[in-house]
Amino acid sequence: MKKFFIAAVWLVSSVPLLYAFNDGDFQIWHTENQELKLTDHSKMTTEEEFRWGGNASELFYHHYDFGTVCTVNKNLDLGVNYRQIYEKKSGEFKTENMIHANVTPKVEIWGFKLEDRNRFAYKHYGYQDDYSQYRNKVALKYPFPFFKLELEPYVANEIFVDFKKDGGFVQNRLYGGLGIAIIKGLKAEFYYLLQSKKSSGKWKDANVLGTKIKLSF
């Protein structure tokens, strides 16, 4: 009976660890983005994203995001957004509320587009302490026509820095993808993402195949 009790306690305490996806997990992410032009220099954006893990067998994350973007000039965008996140932890979805501001310098060199998005976020939880986060995503794109399509292959890298105890540099995302302007106002994107994420002092990788659909009005 004593051995059974010890085994039961160990099993219950191990559930959060057993639930975590394995190192090298294969995942699928899908994003739908909408943009509505407000003026010549501003637009409203909305976004929904869904993620499946455990070799793409289980929905573990989805978020809903909306905000505004102001184009200061051809080389600078400023934006403010609110995002509600639902992420499965210990077998149930938990809610996170996030406000993020984005500063994105842009430049074109020899036909290439270089963007450097700086995201400053405040993350609010009902089940753990709040904290702030900085994300920096640098992307290099090269648009060119292909028959009646506009193709835009790109590479990008994004770092995450958490401002909390045991925080610091906690995540890196390396992207390689292709954007396709199908018709005016409709763009599709396909990408591969290598995510390296620190959890409980250990780094774990995830291999992600992603798709994105973007509508502009």
DSSP code at position 127? S
- pTM here is 0.88
Q: For the chain, give every domain's residue range.
A: 2-216
How do the residues of the chain divide into helix, strand and coil, expressed in percent and rounded to 5? Answer: 10, 75, 15
Q: Which pLDDT tens digit goes with each residue over 50-62?
A: 999 999 999 999 9
The DSSP output letter for 167 is -
Residue ranges in the chain assigned as alpha helix (H): 2-19
Between 2.40.128, 2.40.160, 3.40.50, 1.10.3470, what CATH number should domain 2-216 receive?
Answer: 2.40.160
Give tens-digit pLDDT for 161-196. Answer: 999 988 999 999 999 999 999 999 999 999 999 999
Is residue 33 within 8 Å of 212, Cβ to Cβ?
Answer: yes
